[in-house]
Structure 1
């Protein structure tokens, strides 16, 4: 490498701040531009303040690679569109964007999710497993706790206690985040799902959960993406797989059990600390780690947490107290409204608690993200505007 790679970071939240701080100590990479939608004078706790800008054109000038980690589907899609017009590669830590508009971009340029969050960590574990001869059956995410309809009071407490935004902690708790992550994994690793909303079995340990899911998968015809709720489990990911029979004794000796199912796990995901590995992967020409592919089969629909009445406005879908996300088959849910597109949406017809929001009962403002979604699924359902 003959020069420091010039990095542009889109976002100034927890992930962006951590990545910018980490890159400040590297010799082969340099953050030269930081895009924020906040008034620049209000951005706190970030290194390299001189690189801050509110202007996308300024942000993209003189960068070699963009890291999109704003956590926002609508805004992030517009940023990536501009980056692609300049032939810039894009690394994301934005699974919400990937499952909503990522397939549009996968057909048009270089976009990859990074290691750090569970999807990227599963993709890395997948590569490792394949290299050792394992045949994955289950791509698993591990959650310690879930409450499908948490209270504002509880989420406000935990938001302050953990130092993360209220929508973020809410999407973690109500399962929306894990549904989004596993939808991305299903598409990116060419797996399926057993049911809308996944199974989310509560288990004593991940080996038990992995075996249970693997047994169900054998009748499915291809690997599945899912998650388990395991209070004592590590904050990581796992793959449950088969291996050739001639390795049975060796795998038993190596403490992986008697088979036929073997569970490999990564006991951590270190968010921004791991993004740097994917940046180096891209710079070194090693290709895409994971994206939503050009032809996804799984999306994440919005499901009402309570009865919704005509005329109500939903300012934000992901991390809200009125809807949550559920992974779903696109083919079986042709009219579903992806939760990532829910922004300033207006309820046109009443929706009962537990029902799926659709383009027929909700209207949303026009946006680049909406146009990208219509392009993705134009061959499977009518276009909505």
Structure 2
């Protein structure tokens, strides 16, 4: 690979495959290892099959930079713990791990979310807005559809149609994904949330929905991270901001409206293609684009989708038919269990649909991810180990 930066990729799903394809033929970057939990000889769906490995140690040894995009909080936490302790810079396209254990990982070394998914794109848009003198009030995501309790059959249909996994399409549909993304944005960009579960304003267009959210932010006295529900709007992100009154005439001339709120829209996010930009930034010694910060204020709590009985097992929280995620302020719900920690969890007592799950409600395995969460949350809440 000569002088090319060696890229180690964790994961073999939709985003990982796309990143590997995007790196092909680049003279400055090359995939060195691809970490998978499947049998390498059985994988005929991946480019650069020869780079596959089942060893995290092998990945770390032969990588200058590690890119993680599995969406598996427990697994990713274990591997990234090793990578950061080996002084490898880490890039994630995995808001799930960032918002659950990212604060612990940020204490170990360089970890940043990539540009390309909504949180990274909002971080880049904020940088541009600040440079132009805007004062952000809203860091906004755009969602086209929401159903907290979709059926298994309809999710299987859409998973097959879109070529993504069942758990991913379910987490998109039930709102868990947008709650996770906006929690990361709040923690990483110094914003708050307007209410548990976010406001999620229905809107015909970005500007009208953004103005409603901006008014909420003004009444609260701090910028907020939130989303609009707007089926006709593009799949992008936006910032609603104020600007110095002396530039009102200029902004009106630039077709930004009459103020006092101005909407900056980025009408696309290209995921695997944009990770390259963050890799280049790391290669050039750039600062962290976005991570969960060392002292998170916002988490994503698990909420029961259905009636749960003692002895029921929740194999995986995110993208399941047992629970969905809801953004909360940690200090307001100190005993909540983050949905990212729900893995092979056993229900201890009857839980009604719509209830926020607590550590008293379920028993979860001892993992590094659990230790990481309790270590970061303990100064701010009264959660104790069961």
Give the TM-score category using the shorter length: over 0.9
The corresponding residue for 1:249 is: 249
Cross-structure match for 2:321: 321
2:374 pairs with 1:377: no
Q: Equivalences for 1:284-299 in 2 at 5 Å?
A: 284-299=284-299
Distance (whole Å) between structure 2 residues aligned to residue 62 and residue 189 of structure 1: 33
Measured in 1, the distance between the counterparts of 2:253 and 2:285 equals 37
Name the counterpart of 2:63: 63
TM-score, normalising length: structure 2 = 0.98
User: Are 2:268 and 1:233 equivalent residues in the alignment?
Assistant: no
Pairwise CA distance, 1:42:
2.7
Listed one character per residue, the Cα deviations across residues 84-105 of structure 1 (whole Å, up to 9, x for unaligned) are 1210000000000000000001
Per-residue deviation, 1:55: 1.0
Q: Give the structure 2 partner of residue 172 of structure 1.
A: 172
* 1:303–1:356 Cα contact (<8 Å) kept: yes
Contact 1:68 1:76 in 2 (8 A): yes
CA deviations 1:282-303 (Å, max 9, x no partner) are: 1111110000000000000000
Aligned to 2:219, what secondary structure does the other structure show? coil
Q: Could you tell me how far 1:107 is from its partner in structure 2?
A: 1.5
Measured in 2, the distance between the counterparts of 1:77 and 1:163 equals 26
CA distance in 1, matches of 2:271, 2:44: 20
Instruction: Report how far residue 53 of structure 1 moved.
Output: 0.5
Tell me the secondary structure at the aligned position of residue 26 of structure 1: coil
Residue 43 of structure 1: how far off its partner (Å): 2.2
Contact 1:150 1:170 in 2 (8 A): yes
Deviation at 1:41, TM superposition (A): 2.4
1:91 is the counterpart of 2:91: yes
Contact 2:85 2:109 in 1 (8 A): no
Gaps of 5+ in 2: none
2:72 counterpart residue number: 72
Q: Deviations over 1:7-43 (max 9, x none)?
A: 1000000000000011112110010000001121232
- Give the Cα–Cα distance (whole angstroms) in 1 for the partners of residues 45 and 246 of structure 2: 55
Q: Using the alignment, how far apart are the partners of 2:159 and 2:54 within structure 1? A: 26
CA RMSD in angstroms comes to 0.9
User: Which residue is equivalent to 2:148?
Assistant: 148
Q: 1:352, 1:201 → 2: CA distance?
A: 26
Once residues 346 and 289 of structure 1 are traced to their aligned partners in structure 2, the CA distance between those partners, rounded to angstroms, is 37
TM-score normalised according to structure 1 size = 0.99
Count of residues paired in the alignment: 384
